[in-house]
Amino acid sequence: MDTKIIEKVDRALTELKAGNLIIVADSLDREAEGDMVGLAEKVSPETVNKMVTRARGLLCVPMAVEIANRLELKPMLENSSDAFGTAFTSTLDAKSTTTGISAFDRAKTIKRLADPNSTWDDFYHPGHIFPLIARPDGVFERQGHTEAAVDLAKLAGVAPVAYICEVLKKNGKMARRKDLKAIAEGNGMSLLTIDEIIAYRKYQQNQAIQTITSVKLPTKYGTFQLEAFDNPDGGEPTLLISKGDLATGDPLLKRLHSECLTGDVFGSKRCDCGPQLEEALRRIERNGRGALIYLRQEGRGIGLANKLRAYALQEQGLDTVQANQHLGLPIDDRNYQIAATILKSKGVSEVRLMTNNPDKIQQLDGYGIKTVERIPLEVGLTSENQHYLLTKKNKLNHLLKEVGNA
Protein backbone atom coordinates (compact mmCIF):
# COMPACT_ATOMS: atom_id res chain seq x y z
CA MET A 1 0.00 0.00 0.00
CA ASP A 2 1.34 3.41 -1.00
CA THR A 3 2.01 5.32 2.23
CA LYS A 4 1.30 8.58 0.38
CA ILE A 5 -2.31 7.49 -0.14
CA ILE A 6 -2.67 6.61 3.55
CA GLU A 7 -1.30 10.01 4.56
CA LYS A 8 -3.48 11.78 1.99
CA VAL A 9 -6.72 10.14 3.16
CA ASP A 10 -5.76 10.64 6.81
CA ARG A 11 -5.28 14.37 6.17
CA ALA A 12 -8.65 14.60 4.43
CA LEU A 13 -10.35 12.82 7.34
CA THR A 14 -8.76 15.26 9.77
CA GLU A 15 -10.13 18.15 7.71
CA LEU A 16 -13.60 16.62 7.59
CA LYS A 17 -13.67 15.95 11.34
CA ALA A 18 -12.74 19.60 11.88
CA GLY A 19 -15.91 20.59 10.00
CA ASN A 20 -14.20 21.56 6.76
CA LEU A 21 -15.01 20.56 3.19
CA ILE A 22 -12.96 18.45 0.79
CA ILE A 23 -13.34 17.53 -2.89
CA VAL A 24 -13.74 13.94 -4.10
CA ALA A 25 -13.21 13.06 -7.78
CA ASP A 26 -14.55 9.91 -9.40
CA SER A 27 -12.81 7.83 -12.06
CA LEU A 28 -11.97 9.11 -15.51
CA ASP A 29 -14.03 6.32 -17.12
CA ARG A 30 -17.16 7.17 -15.10
CA GLU A 31 -18.39 10.79 -14.85
CA ALA A 32 -14.88 12.21 -14.31
CA GLU A 33 -16.47 14.81 -12.04
CA GLY A 34 -15.98 16.00 -8.49
CA ASP A 35 -18.13 16.79 -5.49
CA MET A 36 -17.48 18.93 -2.45
CA VAL A 37 -18.04 16.77 0.61
CA GLY A 38 -18.71 17.52 4.27
CA LEU A 39 -19.80 15.46 7.29
CA ALA A 40 -23.41 16.01 8.31
CA GLU A 41 -22.54 15.93 12.03
CA LYS A 42 -20.09 18.80 11.47
CA VAL A 43 -22.24 20.94 9.16
CA SER A 44 -22.57 24.70 9.64
CA PRO A 45 -24.39 27.47 7.76
CA GLU A 46 -20.97 28.74 6.64
CA THR A 47 -19.92 25.44 5.04
CA VAL A 48 -23.32 25.04 3.36
CA ASN A 49 -23.03 28.54 1.95
CA LYS A 50 -19.48 27.86 0.81
CA MET A 51 -20.59 24.65 -0.87
CA VAL A 52 -23.52 26.11 -2.81
CA THR A 53 -21.66 29.26 -3.89
CA ARG A 54 -18.34 27.64 -4.85
CA ALA A 55 -19.41 24.16 -6.00
CA ARG A 56 -22.66 25.45 -7.58
CA GLY A 57 -24.27 22.03 -8.16
CA LEU A 58 -27.18 20.29 -6.40
CA LEU A 59 -26.73 19.88 -2.65
CA CYS A 60 -27.63 16.33 -1.56
CA VAL A 61 -27.31 14.30 1.64
CA PRO A 62 -25.97 10.75 1.20
CA MET A 63 -26.66 8.37 4.08
CA ALA A 64 -26.28 4.72 5.01
CA VAL A 65 -29.25 2.50 4.25
CA GLU A 66 -29.99 1.92 7.94
CA ILE A 67 -30.43 5.67 8.45
CA ALA A 68 -32.79 5.91 5.48
CA ASN A 69 -34.77 2.95 6.80
CA ARG A 70 -35.13 4.54 10.24
CA LEU A 71 -36.35 7.76 8.63
CA GLU A 72 -38.72 5.75 6.39
CA LEU A 73 -37.28 7.35 3.25
CA LYS A 74 -38.46 5.71 0.05
CA PRO A 75 -37.03 5.98 -3.49
CA MET A 76 -38.17 9.07 -5.34
CA LEU A 77 -39.21 6.77 -8.20
CA GLU A 78 -39.68 3.01 -8.02
CA ASN A 79 -38.16 2.53 -11.49
CA SER A 80 -35.42 5.13 -11.70
CA SER A 81 -33.73 5.64 -15.07
CA ASP A 82 -30.74 7.56 -13.66
CA ALA A 83 -27.74 6.64 -15.80
CA PHE A 84 -25.48 6.03 -12.80
CA GLY A 85 -28.03 4.54 -10.41
CA THR A 86 -28.08 7.47 -7.97
CA ALA A 87 -30.55 6.50 -5.22
CA PHE A 88 -32.61 9.67 -4.73
CA THR A 89 -35.37 9.58 -2.13
CA SER A 90 -38.27 11.97 -1.59
CA THR A 91 -37.12 15.43 -0.49
CA LEU A 92 -37.52 16.97 2.97
CA ASP A 93 -36.88 19.91 5.34
CA ALA A 94 -36.46 19.83 9.11
CA LYS A 95 -39.53 21.16 10.91
CA SER A 96 -37.27 23.59 12.77
CA THR A 97 -36.72 25.52 9.51
CA THR A 98 -38.71 28.37 7.94
CA THR A 99 -38.42 28.48 4.14
CA GLY A 100 -35.99 25.56 4.18
CA ILE A 101 -33.77 26.95 1.41
CA SER A 102 -31.38 29.31 3.23
CA ALA A 103 -27.92 28.05 4.14
CA PHE A 104 -28.99 28.25 7.78
CA ASP A 105 -32.13 26.19 7.20
CA ARG A 106 -30.36 23.63 5.04
CA ALA A 107 -27.68 23.24 7.71
CA LYS A 108 -30.42 22.57 10.28
CA THR A 109 -31.95 19.89 8.07
CA ILE A 110 -28.60 18.23 7.39
CA LYS A 111 -27.73 18.25 11.10
CA ARG A 112 -31.10 16.73 11.93
CA LEU A 113 -30.59 13.94 9.41
CA ALA A 114 -27.41 12.98 11.27
CA ASP A 115 -29.21 12.93 14.62
CA PRO A 116 -29.63 9.29 15.76
CA ASN A 117 -32.94 10.19 17.40
CA SER A 118 -34.57 11.76 14.35
CA THR A 119 -37.65 10.23 12.75
CA TRP A 120 -39.92 10.80 9.77
CA ASP A 121 -42.08 13.15 11.84
CA ASP A 122 -39.16 15.57 12.39
CA PHE A 123 -39.32 16.63 8.73
CA TYR A 124 -41.62 18.26 6.23
CA HIS A 125 -42.15 16.16 3.08
CA PRO A 126 -41.31 17.31 0.42
CA GLY A 127 -38.61 19.92 1.04
CA HIS A 128 -35.38 21.40 -0.25
CA ILE A 129 -32.88 18.68 0.73
CA PHE A 130 -32.30 15.63 -1.47
CA PRO A 131 -31.34 12.54 0.57
CA LEU A 132 -29.44 9.77 -1.23
CA ILE A 133 -29.09 6.16 -0.08
CA ALA A 134 -25.61 4.63 -0.30
CA ARG A 135 -25.05 0.99 -1.16
CA PRO A 136 -24.25 -1.16 1.92
CA ASP A 137 -20.69 -1.97 0.81
CA GLY A 138 -19.89 1.60 -0.15
CA VAL A 139 -17.29 2.19 -2.83
CA PHE A 140 -16.62 -1.55 -3.02
CA GLU A 141 -20.12 -1.97 -4.43
CA ARG A 142 -20.62 1.30 -6.34
CA GLN A 143 -17.93 3.85 -7.17
CA GLY A 144 -20.11 6.92 -6.74
CA HIS A 145 -19.88 10.10 -4.69
CA THR A 146 -22.83 8.93 -2.58
CA GLU A 147 -20.90 5.87 -1.41
CA ALA A 148 -17.59 7.74 -1.13
CA ALA A 149 -19.10 10.38 1.15
CA VAL A 150 -20.75 7.82 3.46
CA ASP A 151 -17.55 5.75 3.56
CA LEU A 152 -15.62 8.85 4.61
CA ALA A 153 -18.14 9.49 7.39
CA LYS A 154 -17.69 5.91 8.62
CA LEU A 155 -13.90 6.22 8.44
CA ALA A 156 -14.15 9.44 10.44
CA GLY A 157 -16.12 7.65 13.14
CA VAL A 158 -19.23 9.83 12.92
CA ALA A 159 -22.83 9.18 11.85
CA PRO A 160 -22.84 7.72 8.30
CA VAL A 161 -24.44 10.83 6.80
CA ALA A 162 -22.70 13.45 4.65
CA TYR A 163 -23.58 16.37 2.40
CA ILE A 164 -22.26 16.79 -1.12
CA CYS A 165 -22.52 19.11 -4.10
CA GLU A 166 -21.23 18.73 -7.67
CA VAL A 167 -18.45 21.14 -8.61
CA LEU A 168 -19.11 23.38 -11.61
CA LYS A 169 -16.75 25.84 -13.23
CA LYS A 170 -17.60 29.55 -13.29
CA ASN A 171 -18.85 29.18 -16.86
CA GLY A 172 -21.43 26.62 -15.70
CA LYS A 173 -19.73 23.56 -17.21
CA MET A 174 -18.73 20.54 -15.14
CA ALA A 175 -15.31 20.72 -13.52
CA ARG A 176 -13.18 17.78 -14.62
CA ARG A 177 -10.09 16.31 -12.99
CA LYS A 178 -7.65 19.04 -14.07
CA ASP A 179 -10.13 21.76 -12.99
CA LEU A 180 -10.78 20.10 -9.64
CA LYS A 181 -7.12 20.24 -8.68
CA ALA A 182 -7.03 23.99 -9.24
CA ILE A 183 -10.35 24.56 -7.44
CA ALA A 184 -9.21 22.48 -4.45
CA GLU A 185 -5.95 24.42 -4.21
CA GLY A 186 -7.73 27.75 -4.61
CA ASN A 187 -10.12 26.91 -1.75
CA GLY A 188 -7.52 25.27 0.48
CA MET A 189 -9.29 21.90 0.30
CA SER A 190 -7.95 18.36 0.20
CA LEU A 191 -8.59 16.50 -3.06
CA LEU A 192 -9.20 12.75 -3.01
CA THR A 193 -10.20 10.26 -5.68
CA ILE A 194 -12.63 7.42 -5.17
CA ASP A 195 -9.85 5.01 -6.18
CA GLU A 196 -7.82 6.31 -3.23
CA ILE A 197 -10.75 5.75 -0.87
CA ILE A 198 -11.07 2.19 -2.18
CA ALA A 199 -7.35 1.59 -1.64
CA TYR A 200 -7.53 3.04 1.87
CA ARG A 201 -10.48 0.84 2.84
CA LYS A 202 -8.71 -2.25 1.52
CA TYR A 203 -5.63 -1.33 3.52
CA GLN A 204 -7.69 -0.93 6.68
CA GLN A 205 -9.36 -4.28 6.17
CA ASN A 206 -6.05 -6.05 5.76
CA GLN A 207 -4.77 -4.37 8.91
CA ALA A 208 -7.89 -5.26 10.89
CA ILE A 209 -7.94 -9.02 10.33
CA GLN A 210 -6.15 -10.90 13.12
CA THR A 211 -5.60 -14.60 13.73
CA ILE A 212 -6.76 -15.92 17.10
CA THR A 213 -5.15 -19.34 16.75
CA SER A 214 -4.42 -22.13 14.27
CA VAL A 215 -4.74 -25.88 14.97
CA LYS A 216 -4.87 -29.20 13.13
CA LEU A 217 -8.39 -30.49 12.48
CA PRO A 218 -8.67 -34.24 11.81
CA THR A 219 -12.19 -35.00 10.54
CA LYS A 220 -14.07 -37.87 8.92
CA TYR A 221 -13.55 -36.05 5.60
CA GLY A 222 -9.77 -35.63 5.98
CA THR A 223 -7.21 -33.71 8.00
CA PHE A 224 -7.25 -29.94 7.65
CA GLN A 225 -5.78 -26.83 9.23
CA LEU A 226 -8.30 -24.77 11.20
CA GLU A 227 -7.57 -21.07 11.72
CA ALA A 228 -9.83 -18.71 13.67
CA PHE A 229 -9.99 -14.98 12.87
CA ASP A 230 -11.33 -12.12 14.95
CA ASN A 231 -14.59 -10.75 13.62
CA PRO A 232 -14.25 -6.93 13.35
CA ASP A 233 -17.98 -6.65 14.09
CA GLY A 234 -17.70 -8.79 17.21
CA GLY A 235 -19.35 -12.15 17.75
CA GLU A 236 -17.99 -15.59 17.02
CA PRO A 237 -14.79 -15.88 14.95
CA THR A 238 -14.69 -16.52 11.23
CA LEU A 239 -13.08 -19.89 10.49
CA LEU A 240 -10.69 -20.91 7.72
CA ILE A 241 -10.54 -24.66 7.10
CA SER A 242 -7.74 -25.35 4.64
CA LYS A 243 -5.44 -27.92 3.15
CA GLY A 244 -2.10 -27.36 1.44
CA ASP A 245 -0.28 -24.19 0.42
CA LEU A 246 -2.98 -21.65 -0.42
CA ALA A 247 -0.75 -19.01 -2.03
CA THR A 248 1.00 -21.09 -4.70
CA GLY A 249 -0.27 -23.25 -7.53
CA ASP A 250 -3.44 -23.11 -9.60
CA PRO A 251 -6.39 -20.91 -8.61
CA LEU A 252 -7.55 -22.09 -5.20
CA LEU A 253 -10.46 -24.51 -4.84
CA LYS A 254 -12.71 -22.53 -2.53
CA ARG A 255 -16.01 -22.61 -0.68
CA LEU A 256 -17.71 -19.78 1.23
CA HIS A 257 -20.10 -21.39 3.68
CA SER A 258 -22.49 -19.44 5.89
CA GLU A 259 -23.25 -21.01 9.25
CA CYS A 260 -26.45 -23.08 9.43
CA LEU A 261 -26.89 -24.72 12.84
CA THR A 262 -29.98 -26.67 11.81
CA GLY A 263 -28.40 -28.02 8.63
CA ASP A 264 -24.71 -28.28 9.55
CA VAL A 265 -25.17 -29.75 13.03
CA PHE A 266 -28.64 -31.31 13.22
CA GLY A 267 -28.84 -32.53 9.63
CA SER A 268 -32.03 -30.63 8.80
CA LYS A 269 -33.63 -31.58 5.48
CA ARG A 270 -35.26 -28.15 5.15
CA CYS A 271 -32.12 -26.85 3.36
CA ASP A 272 -29.07 -28.18 1.54
CA CYS A 273 -26.47 -26.53 3.80
CA GLY A 274 -25.21 -29.59 5.65
CA PRO A 275 -24.66 -31.70 2.50
CA GLN A 276 -22.92 -28.74 0.83
CA LEU A 277 -20.53 -28.35 3.76
CA GLU A 278 -19.71 -32.05 3.75
CA GLU A 279 -19.25 -32.29 -0.02
CA ALA A 280 -17.02 -29.20 -0.12
CA LEU A 281 -14.71 -30.70 2.50
CA ARG A 282 -14.61 -34.02 0.62
CA ARG A 283 -13.65 -32.24 -2.61
CA ILE A 284 -10.91 -30.24 -0.89
CA GLU A 285 -9.50 -33.44 0.60
CA ARG A 286 -9.57 -35.23 -2.77
CA ASN A 287 -7.95 -32.23 -4.46
CA GLY A 288 -5.19 -32.14 -1.85
CA ARG A 289 -5.40 -28.35 -1.66
CA GLY A 290 -8.20 -25.89 -1.03
CA ALA A 291 -10.04 -23.87 1.57
CA LEU A 292 -13.45 -23.37 3.13
CA ILE A 293 -14.29 -20.15 4.99
CA TYR A 294 -17.03 -20.67 7.58
CA LEU A 295 -18.89 -17.38 8.02
CA ARG A 296 -21.08 -16.68 11.06
CA GLN A 297 -24.04 -15.51 8.99
CA GLU A 298 -26.86 -17.74 10.21
CA GLY A 299 -30.06 -17.62 8.19
CA ARG A 300 -28.59 -15.61 5.30
CA GLY A 301 -27.53 -13.01 7.84
CA ILE A 302 -30.74 -12.63 9.93
CA GLY A 303 -29.65 -14.85 12.85
CA LEU A 304 -30.90 -18.12 14.27
CA ALA A 305 -33.94 -16.78 16.14
CA ASN A 306 -35.25 -14.95 13.08
CA LYS A 307 -34.52 -17.94 10.86
CA LEU A 308 -36.71 -20.10 13.10
CA ARG A 309 -39.44 -17.44 12.99
CA ALA A 310 -39.19 -17.55 9.21
CA TYR A 311 -39.45 -21.35 9.31
CA ALA A 312 -42.72 -21.02 11.26
CA LEU A 313 -44.10 -18.71 8.57
CA GLN A 314 -42.99 -21.16 5.87
CA GLU A 315 -45.05 -23.82 7.60
CA GLN A 316 -48.03 -21.50 7.13
CA GLY A 317 -47.45 -21.35 3.36
CA LEU A 318 -44.96 -18.52 2.78
CA ASP A 319 -41.74 -19.20 0.87
CA THR A 320 -38.32 -18.27 2.28
CA VAL A 321 -38.31 -14.85 0.58
CA GLN A 322 -41.87 -13.98 1.62
CA ALA A 323 -41.18 -15.06 5.21
CA ASN A 324 -38.22 -12.69 5.56
CA GLN A 325 -40.21 -9.87 4.01
CA HIS A 326 -43.14 -10.55 6.33
CA LEU A 327 -40.77 -10.19 9.29
CA GLY A 328 -39.41 -6.93 7.88
CA LEU A 329 -35.98 -8.50 7.39
CA PRO A 330 -33.54 -8.50 4.45
CA ILE A 331 -33.99 -11.33 1.98
CA ASP A 332 -30.24 -11.96 2.00
CA ASP A 333 -28.06 -9.85 4.30
CA ARG A 334 -24.81 -11.75 3.87
CA ASN A 335 -21.53 -10.01 3.20
CA TYR A 336 -18.28 -11.64 2.06
CA GLN A 337 -15.88 -8.79 2.76
CA ILE A 338 -14.11 -10.57 5.64
CA ALA A 339 -13.74 -13.68 3.49
CA ALA A 340 -11.98 -11.65 0.79
CA THR A 341 -9.73 -10.07 3.42
CA ILE A 342 -8.73 -13.48 4.76
CA LEU A 343 -7.98 -14.75 1.26
CA LYS A 344 -5.82 -11.72 0.50
CA SER A 345 -3.95 -12.16 3.78
CA LYS A 346 -3.08 -15.66 2.54
CA GLY A 347 -1.86 -14.41 -0.83
CA VAL A 348 -4.93 -15.63 -2.75
CA SER A 349 -6.29 -13.50 -5.59
CA GLU A 350 -7.98 -16.10 -7.83
CA VAL A 351 -10.34 -18.92 -6.88
CA ARG A 352 -12.32 -21.81 -8.30
CA LEU A 353 -15.47 -21.23 -6.30
CA MET A 354 -17.82 -24.03 -5.28
CA THR A 355 -21.18 -22.26 -5.31
CA ASN A 356 -24.62 -22.00 -6.88
CA ASN A 357 -24.98 -18.37 -5.81
CA PRO A 358 -23.82 -15.70 -8.33
CA ASP A 359 -23.92 -13.02 -5.60
CA LYS A 360 -20.84 -14.60 -3.99
CA ILE A 361 -18.94 -14.29 -7.26
CA GLN A 362 -20.02 -10.68 -7.69
CA GLN A 363 -19.13 -9.67 -4.13
CA LEU A 364 -15.73 -11.37 -4.19
CA ASP A 365 -14.93 -9.65 -7.47
CA GLY A 366 -15.85 -6.31 -5.88
CA TYR A 367 -13.39 -7.03 -3.09
CA GLY A 368 -10.58 -7.94 -5.48
CA ILE A 369 -10.87 -11.76 -5.55
CA LYS A 370 -11.43 -13.10 -9.07
CA THR A 371 -13.48 -16.25 -9.63
CA VAL A 372 -11.89 -17.97 -12.63
CA GLU A 373 -14.29 -20.91 -12.47
CA ARG A 374 -17.65 -21.58 -10.83
CA ILE A 375 -18.02 -25.17 -9.70
CA PRO A 376 -21.66 -26.17 -9.10
CA LEU A 377 -22.46 -27.60 -5.67
CA GLU A 378 -25.92 -29.13 -6.12
CA VAL A 379 -26.28 -31.71 -3.35
CA GLY A 380 -28.81 -32.62 -0.70
CA LEU A 381 -32.04 -32.31 -2.71
CA THR A 382 -34.93 -33.72 -0.67
CA SER A 383 -38.71 -33.66 -0.89
CA GLU A 384 -38.63 -31.37 2.16
CA ASN A 385 -36.33 -28.74 0.62
CA GLN A 386 -37.34 -28.84 -3.05
CA HIS A 387 -39.70 -25.86 -2.76
CA TYR A 388 -37.04 -23.96 -0.78
CA LEU A 389 -34.43 -24.57 -3.49
CA LEU A 390 -36.92 -23.71 -6.23
CA THR A 391 -37.55 -20.36 -4.51
CA LYS A 392 -33.80 -19.72 -4.37
CA LYS A 393 -33.60 -20.47 -8.08
CA ASN A 394 -36.57 -18.34 -9.15
CA LYS A 395 -36.34 -15.44 -6.69
CA LEU A 396 -32.67 -15.30 -5.66
CA ASN A 397 -31.16 -16.27 -9.03
CA HIS A 398 -29.28 -19.29 -7.71
CA LEU A 399 -27.91 -21.46 -10.51
CA LEU A 400 -29.74 -24.74 -9.87
CA LYS A 401 -30.57 -27.33 -12.48
CA GLU A 402 -31.57 -30.33 -10.41
CA VAL A 403 -34.64 -28.74 -8.78
CA GLY A 404 -36.45 -28.25 -12.11
CA ASN A 405 -38.68 -25.28 -12.87
CA ALA A 406 -41.63 -23.58 -11.24
Beta-bridge mates of residue 225 = 216, 242
Q: Was domain 209-297+334-396 assigned CATH 3.40.50.10990?
A: yes
Domain limits, the chain? 3-204, 209-297+334-396
For 320-346, how does the pLDDT look when each residue is reduced to its tens digit (9 = 90+)?
Answer: 999 999 999 888 888 888 898 899 889
Which superfamily does CATH assign the domain made up of 3-204 to? Answer: DHBP synthase (3.90.870.10)
The pLDDT of residue 406 is 44
Q: Which residues are annotated as a binding site for Zn(2+)?
A: 260, 271, 273
For 107-120, how does the pLDDT look when each residue is reduced to its tens digit (9 = 90+)?
Answer: 999 999 999 999 99
DSSP letter string, 293-349:
EEE--TTTTT-HHHHHHHHHHHTTT--HHHHHHHTT--S-----HHHHHHHHHTT--
Q: Is 98 exposed, middle or buried (0-12, 13-18, 19+ CB in 10 A)?
A: exposed
- The residues, any chain, with a CB within 8 Å of residue 27's CB and separated by 6 or more, are 143, 193, 194, 195
The pLDDT of residue 380 is 81
Classify each residue of 209-227 as buried b or exposed e, where b means 16 or more C-beta atoms within 10 Å of its C-beta. Answer: beeeeeeebeeebeebeeb
Q: Which of 250, 286, 332, 374 is catalytic?
A: 332
Beta-bridge mates of residue 290 = 243
CA 334 from chain centre, in angstroms, equals 10
Query: Which residue, 130, 284, 138, is CA-closest to 222?
Result: 284
Q: Which residues are annotated as a binding site?
A: 255-260, 271, 273, 276, 298-300, 320, 355, 360
Q: Which of 112, 135, 309, 334 is catalytic?
A: 334
- Note if 282 is an active site residue: no
How high does pLDDT run on average in the chain? Answer: 91
Residue 317 φ/ψ region, left for φ over 0, alpha for ψ in the -120 to 50 degree band, beta for the rest: left
- Note if 334 is an active site residue: yes
Largest CA distance in the chain: 72
The Cα–Cα gap between 77 and 88 comes to 8
Q: Is 385 exposed, middle or buried (0-12, 13-18, 19+ CB in 10 A)?
A: buried
CA 255 from chain centre, in angstroms, equals 20
What's the order of all strands across the beta sheet hosting 56-63? 92-94, 123-133, 56-63, 162-167, 34-39, 22-25, 191-193
Q: What is the mean pLDDT of each run of 10 residues along the chain (406 residues)?
A: 84 96 84 91 98 97 94 79 71 97 98 96 96 93 94 94 96 92 95 94 76 96 96 84 94 97 95 96 98 96 94 94 91 87 91 94 85 94 90 90 68
The pLDDT of residue 203 is 80
Dihedral angle computed from the Cα positions of residues 30, 36, 39 and 44, in that order, rounded to the nearest 10 degrees: -160
Q: Which amino acid is at 114?
A: A
Query: Which residue, 185, 141, 153, 148, is CA-closest to 166?
Result: 148
- How do beta strands 222-229 and 162-167 pair? unpaired
